[in-house]
């Protein structure tokens, strides 16, 4: 009993790792998000990172971060309510608001923290939260912490959502929660229709644009631009650690909401603020996105097209992805990990999704062709897929 009993319960089944001599998770990477990427002294084609626009290791971003470190040091060692609210925090918050077209913004040390911190601040047990079946773990965690009624709706299914809204009665408030780009399979929410339904039923729309910001919309401003949603009245959250190539997350919306969260969102108030260095990086990335989105975006869609065509020709089963994400159907846990290993053994780093990140038997191997990859790298990836396909035949 006691410690022995406690630690004996903390067991991860690593039998498949032992059998395959492979673990796709926690690979120790010895380089930045460069092309190639280096793991255990071996060069890899990186199709695993969410570095869509390829800016994470961009010289200009690195220089901006260095300059910010020179000015502010490593950390402000305090929450934004104390010493963490530096001028660059305010500048980047304002810049993000402008970028996504909303009134105000608060920035969190992580997107996960933004999502988990949001709901306890705005919802209560008397509310109803209706959420897409496939929303991210951070949203589920945040929603579940309220103890209110939760009603999931079938993935991206407007009719199902409408039925649930129609039946909902007796709640203080109704929130409808979804994501823009569902990153495991690359589907995009019909958010314009969801927003309309929310107006119709007096519900409050909450959107997580983690994989949409910097990726979709004609100038990369995310889901609101993609779906031409003007004067969005709901709540918008997003990540700074994907296309925006830094770390952190943020919530944007009406001034009243942000002012309220600044004082009553525990995930913000009781956490050391995001590092100024990161904000320096975001500041620079936003400038680059304004200038270079079109060329970078064109590249990732072109890469997606050629990779998808090749994979289909090679007989891989793919999800119908609407985003610049390629999602290989892996099936069960074991077959998904084996597919990722096959790619790894041939020099491609991918992201295998296994339950509970995806539904049972819904394993996926995700490939994200980022804009920093050279054309020669993509050609090499095509050759690798063909080689793997031929090996499958024999």
Q: Give the interface with other proteins as residue ranges (CB under 8 A).
A: 131, 133, 140, 150-155, 167, 355-356, 359-362
Ramachandran area for residue 158 (φ above 0: left; ψ -120 to 50: alpha; else beta): alpha
As a whole number of angstroms, the distance between CA 170 and CA 48 comes to: 45
Omega before 356 within 30 of 0, i.e. cis? yes
The CB-of-163 to other proteins minimum distance in angstroms stands at 10
Nearer to other proteins, 68 or 327 (CB): 327
Nearer to other proteins, 140 or 306 (CB): 140
The CB-of-87 to other proteins minimum distance in angstroms stands at 42
As a whole number of angstroms, the distance between CA 159 and CA 192 comes to: 14
| Strand ranges inside the chain, DSSP E | 37-39, 42-46, 104-108, 128-132, 149-153, 174-179, 181-182, 187-188, 204-208, 235-239, 249-253, 326-331, 348-349, 351-353, 363-367
How far is CA 313 from its chain centroid? 29
81: three-class secondary structure by DSSP: coil
Answer yes or no: are the C-beta atoms of 53 and 303 closer than 8 Å: no
Place of tokens 């994907």: 242
Provide the token pair at 341.
């290993």
The CB-of-62 to other proteins minimum distance in angstroms stands at 40
Provide the token pair at 319.
């999800």
As a whole number of angstroms, the distance between CA 93 and CA 91 comes to: 6
The CB-of-136 to other proteins minimum distance in angstroms stands at 11
The CB-of-114 to other proteins minimum distance in angstroms stands at 20
List the strands of the sheet with 128-132, edge to edge: 104-108, 249-253, 235-239, 204-208, 174-179, 128-132, 149-153
Answer yes or no: are the C-beta atoms of 215 and 188 closer than 8 Å: no
The CB-of-392 to other proteins minimum distance in angstroms stands at 25
Provide the token pair at 321.
């992805």
User: HEC states along 265-305?
Assistant: CHHHHCCCCCCHHHHHHHHHHHHHHHHHHHHHHHHHHHHHH
The CB-of-358 to other proteins minimum distance in angstroms stands at 8
Q: What angle do CA 254, 259, 263 make, to 5 degrees?
A: 145
The CB-of-51 to other proteins minimum distance in angstroms stands at 29
Provide the token pair at 45.
């084609």
End-to-end CA distance of the chain: 53
The CB-of-123 to other proteins minimum distance in angstroms stands at 17
Provide the token pair at 260.
């309220």
The CB-of-337 to other proteins minimum distance in angstroms stands at 18
């Amino acid at each position: 009993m006691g410690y022995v009993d406690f630690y004996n319960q903390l067991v991860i089944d690593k039998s498949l790792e032992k059998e395959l001599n492979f673990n796709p998770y926690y690979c120790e990477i010895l380089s930045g998000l460069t092309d190639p990427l280096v793991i255990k002294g071996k060069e890899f084609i990186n199709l695993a990172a969410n570095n869509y626009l390829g800016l994470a290791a961009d010289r200009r971003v690195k220089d901006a971060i260095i300059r910010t470190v020179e000015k502010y040091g490593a950390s402000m060692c305090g929450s934004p309510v104390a010493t963490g609210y530096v001028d660059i925090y305010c500048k980047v918050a304002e810049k993000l608001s402008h970028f996504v077209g909303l009134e105000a913004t608060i920035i969190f040390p992580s997107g996960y923290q933004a999502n988990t911190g949001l709901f306890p601040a705005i919802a209560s047990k008397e509310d109803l939260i209706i959420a897409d079946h496939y929303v991210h773990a951070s949203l589920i965690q945040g929603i579940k912490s309220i103890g209110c009624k939760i009603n999931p709706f079938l993935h991206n299914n407007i009719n199902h959502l409408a039925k649930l809204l129609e039946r909902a009665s007796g709640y203080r408030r109704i929130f409808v929660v979804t994501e823009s780009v569902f990153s495991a399979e690359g589907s995009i929410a019909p958010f314009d229709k969801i927003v309309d339904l929310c107006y119709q039923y007096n519900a409050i729309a909450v959107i997580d644009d983690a994989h949409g910001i910097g990726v979709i919309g004609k100038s990369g401003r995310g889901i609101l631009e993609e779906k031409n949603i003007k004067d969005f009245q709901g709540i918008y959250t997003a990540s700074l650690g994907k296309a925006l190539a830094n770390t952190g997350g943020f919530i944007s919306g009406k001034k009243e909401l942000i002012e309220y969260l600044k004082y009553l969102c525990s995930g913000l108030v009781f956490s050391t603020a995001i590092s100024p260095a990161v904000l320096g990086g975001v500041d620079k990335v936003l400038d680059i996105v304004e200038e270079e989105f079109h060329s970078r975006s064109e590249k990732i869609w072109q890469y997606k097209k050629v990779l998808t065509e090749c994979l289909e020709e090679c007989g891989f089963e793919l999800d119908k992805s609407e985003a610049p994400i390629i999602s290989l159907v892996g099936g069960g846990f074991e077959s998904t990990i084996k597919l990722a290993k096959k790619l790894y053994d041939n020099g491609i780093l991918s992201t295998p999704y296994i339950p509970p990140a995806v539904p049972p038997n819904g394993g996926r191997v995700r490939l994200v062709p980022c804009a920093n990859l050279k054309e020669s790298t993509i050609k090499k990836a095509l050759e690798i897929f063909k080689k793997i396909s031929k090996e499958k035949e024999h």
